[in-house]
Structure 1
């Protein structure tokens, strides 16, 4: 049986990486949510910067690995000049649909000049850029691949932050600018851990019961250089890079600040941050507040059909308590408010 164009393309790329190992940079295995990530890249040294957002993954026999190939369009043209790519690759944006949807995912974004591909069966991914990875790739590498894989598993990559104490934590939801990153920094200052401030891999309860759990994806925090948290003590001394044309500074968290990337953490509560509430205590509110805060930004930043992702968010909002927490100027008080929610909700979780 003849190979389709996607199988041909991956075959050619794998052959090129084996035949010319010096041309392809092989990164140290990293953690990405529920998966171990092996990243090979060619055409730009900047690809190696993508790995910095992900924690190093120790050997874990039996754990599934996703191999991602990243290259420039020039490299792709050199190694695969005769492979017919789908007509969809030349569209301004959108999914490519001439392949078996049970196995393949392909998407183009010609505004950013990037193409993503994923072989769900073989756990192989591809990122092709024009010249070098842009800020979106450097600050949230492989995000589209993670979204696709989470959806296939009945799970979800959610735009949220998470703060953790011991084996449980709170999911902090809201659009960009809601205060998620600032709150994470305040929690770190209070001695809590984090799964990051941008995306969290959420897994629903299993068939035998349990609760929603989360895994770390990116071990970073993004802050505005001109914002009130720019010089937050929690990020002092951390490595960082400027992204979004200097509008944000991406800080790479230390292992001490981050939760073990292979650990699943129980989600004991959802936090919705609100301005203008003074310095009052956290207040339990309807789960609809969590749905409104989490769903739009997650869906807008998602790839393709978000029905599965939205279903996970809806189920989570129905079954996990939601708290409204004021966003205050004092980093110390902000950390204390989050601690109050963790203590209150973790106790309730023990009795579920």
Structure 2
């Protein structure tokens, strides 16, 4: 049976989104597969007929706790199959800022990736999400590194925190954020720290409560290029896939490294901005909250649609509440890790 195509237009956006949810009322009941993920003490229930997609989410999402309640529910479906409607953006262009502004005062959040006709829609009032694709694998290239990321932000935003685009390292649940653009050394620093006995709750995104400075894991994903893996002695490790991802990096997972279990949360005590300094010794230099904010905020805000103001505010509060330092990285990974360990223990 052919499913109807629903039009979504900026002129009638709220009514159109409501109609999409109404059309999808039964898909949660008829989905063939269900998974439960506990993220930042909230339960997310994902339902789908696409088992391989859920299997990928199982690996990537940092969740090994039993469900804690009803929480949010998310349906991942293929347009036109098993009750999932096909959606059509009924406008010449998709203007993300305009749509964010229209939805900001409402219960709804939305992401539309027009090259693939890929939709994510969320109702904050009912904690219900829809991810609609044109095929089982028709998601953006970066999606499986941090699957359901937007839904996590849209749901968890109601509890006083926000997703922060940063890596983490910790000692005995006392930790630091590491922020910076691609090429800053952030991911390599996290990975080398783990191999030297430091712990992490994530290399890319974490959930942070800016007032309490408590941070929670979201994803197990690690990414590193071949040069970085060679430097750390991991090139050829059994955890690595045979092919690189869309960034020409190897994408693998914390649990594949055979390390001790990582913490369920950490308290944050500093914000570090790694810089590849090519020096013999790793050093730290105190910097202003403004400098730290400018490194921390832009990437997260640009990658997570719908909550721009809240994400900026969270990054600003974290930058103000934490002491901030530039981390000038030495050339020896073990020396870098030892320096970070000492820094964490002493701060």
Give the TM-score, by structure 2 length: 0.82
Paired residues of 1:104 and 1:117 also in contact (CA < 8 A): yes
Identify if the C-alpha distance between structure 1 residues 71 and 231 changes in structure 2 by more than 3 Å, giving closer, same or farther.
Answer: farther
**Other-structure match for 2:336:** 334
1:188 counterpart = 2:208: no
Matches within 5 A, 1:120-159: 120-131=124-135, 132=137, 133-159=139-165
SS of corresponding position for 2:345? helix
Give the CA RMSD over aligned residues.
2.9
> Does the 8 Å contact 2:77/2:133 carry over to 1?
yes
Cα shift at 1:193: 1.1
Whether the 8 Å contact between 1:41 and 1:48 is mirrored in structure 2 is no
SS of structure 2 residue aligned to 1:75: coil
The equivalent of 2:7 in structure 1 is none
**Change beyond 3 A, Cα 1:33–1:58:** closer
User: How many pairs were matched up?
Assistant: 326
Distance 1:146 1:116, change over 3 A: same
From the superposition, tell whether residues 343 and 284 of structure 1 become closer, same or farther in structure 2 (CA, over 3 Å). Answer: farther
- Structure 1 residues 99-248: aligned runs within 5 Å: 101-131=105-135, 132=137, 133-205=139-211, 211-224=212-225, 226-230=226-230, 232-233=232-233, 236-238=237-239, 240=241, 242=243, 244-245=245-246, 247-248=248-249
Kindly indicate whether residue 72 of structure 2 is the aligned counterpart of residue 66 of structure 1. yes
Q: CA deviation at 1:12?
A: 4.1
- Residue 62 of structure 2 is aligned with which of 35, 52, 55? 55
User: Which residue of structure 2 aligns with residue 39 of structure 1?
Assistant: 46
Is residue 2:19 matched to residue 1:13?
A: no
**C-alpha distance in 2, partners of 1:237/1:166?**
28
Per-residue deviation, 1:173: 0.5
Q: Are the counterparts in 2 of residues 158 and 298 from structure 1 also a CA contact under 8 Å?
A: yes
Q: How many angstroms apart in 2 are the aligned matches of 1:330 and 1:51? A: 34
Distance 1:274 1:98 in 2: 39
Equivalent position to 2:33, from 21, 25, 41? 25
